[in-house]
Structure 1
Amino acid sequence: MGLLAICGSITADLIGYGPRLPRPGESVLGRRFLVAPGGKGANQAVAAARSGARVRLAGARGDDAHGELCAAALAADGVELSAVAVHRGATTGVALICVDEAGENQILAIPGANALVTPPSPCGASVWLCQGEIPAAAIDGVLAAARADGALSICNPSPVNAIDPELVGRFDLAVVNELEHEALRGHLPERVVLTRGARGAVLLPSGEELPALPARAVDTTGAGDALTGVLAGGLASGMAIEATLRFAIAAAGISVEREGCQTSYPTRAEVERRLQRSTVP
């Protein structure tokens, strides 16, 4: 089994659940509060590991309670953390998240130690993956590490406009939602996975559409990370892109039926059962 190396953010998610999302200048009385490990890099690492992939994460965190929480959660899922730097006196990244009754969310991300992530070193990976919550030098370093390892390079340029478009186009594969696809038009690599939420995903340039499975959304936070992580993990394990994308779509569908990010991600066995049920007449 090949190794998936991820360079990305590590964040503590502070999540408030309420009847609806607040408008500018408005306060809404919430119903519940949750503190959970998150960050796009860490989320994708956990999603991939639970799907059966070997995963190594490169990143940075503070030596605070939030950093300890995130590191413990990653280690519990078997993610290899020797390339995660611990910065004394720095604060671990934090995401302030509001979720409404329909599962939609608003997110304010505060980078903290994620702004200190440095270019990663080659490690013999089959696939390298990064996102947009780390410095440009680190993203450029992912490309260099992928070249040195002879690995497939994957970019998830999220949040939108967080990565220089010229950098995005140098990756072998990009995973983007519809907003990111529009914003990066003309700057994407030839191979793209276009995610469309409840409508599944499209493989480009072929245009092959893969539908989502029916799901009752409780919390959509981190569903895109679930899909991206599982997709990258499957590719590192040698699966064809069509098969691993179907698997990743099913994993994301399960995740929206549960609260939180990493806490919502299914195991490989859970995804296999969901896919099996979907094919039974």
Structure 2
Amino acid sequence: MSIIVFGSINMDLVTRSPRLPVPGETLLGYDFFTAPGGKGANQAVGSALLGRTTYMIGRVGNDNFGQELLTSLKVAGVQTDSILIDDTTSSGVAVIAVDDRSENTIIVVPGANGKVNHTDVERLEKFLPNASVLLLQLEVPIPAIIAAAEAAKKAKVKVILDPAPAPEKLPDELYSLTDVITPNETEASRLVGFEISHQETMTKAAEILLSRGVKIVVLKLGSRGVFCATASENFMLPAFPVNAIDTVAAGDAFNAAMAAAFDSDLSLKEAIKWGAAAGALATTKKGAQPSLPNKETFEGTLLRFSATEER
């Protein structure tokens, strides 16, 4: 089987500074680099690096960044033939500031990502018969996301939605089309309207999201681990202990690995463990796609974690 990713493809422009600036402040940083990114592309690379057949559906501009982004995806093993080169606009960019505590702020300029529409969904549909999972995010227009989810649902393909960047309100129909929703604390708080700070609020938030039609809620809580809820159970998985230096793309690594686990017919708990391991590994390197773990590193981490659990 295969994994399809429908979403954004960006070039990340990354700065590092001791702390994040406050409004109106000019702050002196100490590092700058560019790296291929975009939540869609990150998830596609993450899946391909774990050895899964992965198709990316999206757009880039007809510019230097666009060519670099396509090359990067191909090198990682992603199938890119269905990515449209859009002559009418620039490639998407994300301007990312990271501080010494590994916290970050991100400004996304959509470019070609903002032009994704039903014609892109038509390219997606031809891959659905042999797909197990469709990965979605919110960096391309919502109507196209809904259409992609509808097509996947019709084909009985599992839909995993990363609701980022989170709006204050998602269309009701998107919840009902989603099998697994994977917000972090900030995104979950925006979706349900209150802060996610402890077990009781996690449970309450999950209940609200389940009531809107989602089948599985996965709350990504960073160093606190992962909380998962379904209609019949909920459980917490602790975070993998790592030395985090940059949290950019950790959530994308999580979703990619979780999709890879589902594509391997693993259980929900195993899929979340895969996600947590990949997400943790992604925080140990700088950048988005450069931080995503390969199959060998990932499997070694899983083995070490399993050995620790058995002691």
Partner in structure 2 of residue 212 of structure 1: 239
Q: Is the 8 A contact 1:146 1:152 kept in 2?
A: yes
Partner in structure 1 of residue 146 of structure 2: 140
Among candidates 291, 297, 300, match of residue 270 of structure 1: 297
Asked whether 1:236 is paired with 2:243, we answer no
Higher strand share: 1
Partner in structure 2 of residue 54 of structure 1: 53
SS in 2 for 1:180: helix
What whole-Å deviation, never above 9, does each CA across 1:176-223 have from its counterpart, x for those lacking one?
Answer: 112222332334613111110011111113221111111111111111
Asked whether 1:196 is paired with 2:221, we answer yes
What whole-Å deviation, never above 9, does each CA across 1:19-70 have from its counterpart, x for those lacking one?
Answer: 1111111111111111110000000111111112111111011011111111
What whole-Å deviation, never above 9, does each CA across 1:67-116 have from its counterpart, x for those lacking one?
Answer: 11111110111111122110114200000001111111110000000011
Asked whether 1:128 is paired with 2:137, we answer no
- TM-score computed with the length of structure 2 as normaliser: 0.86
What whole-Å deviation, never above 9, does each CA across 1:108-163 have from its counterpart, x for those lacking one?
Answer: 00000001112313212211111000112211121122023221111111111177
Q: Is the 8 A contact 2:168 2:191 kept in 1?
A: no
What whole-Å deviation, never above 9, does each CA across 1:223-271 have from its counterpart, x for those lacking one?
Answer: 1111011111221232212112111111111110110010001112111
Identity percentage of aligned residues: 35
Asked whether 1:184 is paired with 2:187, we answer no
**For the residues of structure 2 that align with 1:66 and 1:163, how far apart are their CA atoms?**
32
**For the residues of structure 1 that align with 2:13 and 2:252, how far apart are their CA atoms?**
17
More displaced, 24-33 or 156-165?
Answer: 156-165
Q: How does 1:78-93 map to 2 (within 5 A)?
A: 78-93=77-92
**For the residues of structure 2 that align with 1:25 and 1:126, how far apart are their CA atoms?**
47
**CA pair 255-273 structure 1, distance change in 2 beyond 3 A:** same
Q: Is the 8 A contact 2:170 2:191 kept in 1?
A: no
Q: Is the 8 A contact 2:169 2:191 kept in 1?
A: no
Partner in structure 2 of residue 12 of structure 1: 11
More displaced, 3-12 or 177-186?
Answer: 177-186
**For the residues of structure 1 that align with 2:283 and 2:58, how far apart are their CA atoms?**
26
Where does the alignment leave 5 or more consecutive residues of structure 2 unmatched?
Answer: 193-207
**CA pair 188-160 structure 1, distance change in 2 beyond 3 A:** farther
Q: Is the 8 A contact 1:130 1:155 kept in 2?
A: yes
Report the AA paired with residue 101 of structure 1: D
**For the residues of structure 2 that align with 1:190 and 1:142, how far apart are their CA atoms?**
18
Q: Is the 8 A contact 1:157 1:163 kept in 2?
A: no
Higher helix share: 2
Partner in structure 2 of residue 30 of structure 1: 29
SS in 2 for 1:80: coil
Report the AA paired with residue 135 of structure 2: L
Where does the alignment leave 5 or more consecutive residues of structure 1 unmatched?
Answer: none
Q: How many residues align?
A: 280
More displaced, 64-73 or 113-122?
Answer: 113-122
- TM-score computed with the length of structure 1 as normaliser: 0.95
Partner in structure 2 of residue 105 of structure 1: 104
**For the residues of structure 2 that align with 1:235 and 1:272, how far apart are their CA atoms?**
16
**For the residues of structure 2 that align with 1:101 and 1:272, how far apart are their CA atoms?**
29
SS in 1 for 2:149: helix
Partner in structure 2 of residue 116 of structure 1: 115
User: Structure 1 residue 165: deviation in Å?
Assistant: 3.6
**For the residues of structure 2 that align with 1:148 and 1:94, how far apart are their CA atoms?**
33
Partner in structure 1 of residue 38 of structure 2: 39
**For the residues of structure 1 that align with 2:229 and 2:22, how far apart are their CA atoms?**
36
Report the AA paired with residue 157 of structure 1: P
CA-atom RMSD in angstroms: 1.5
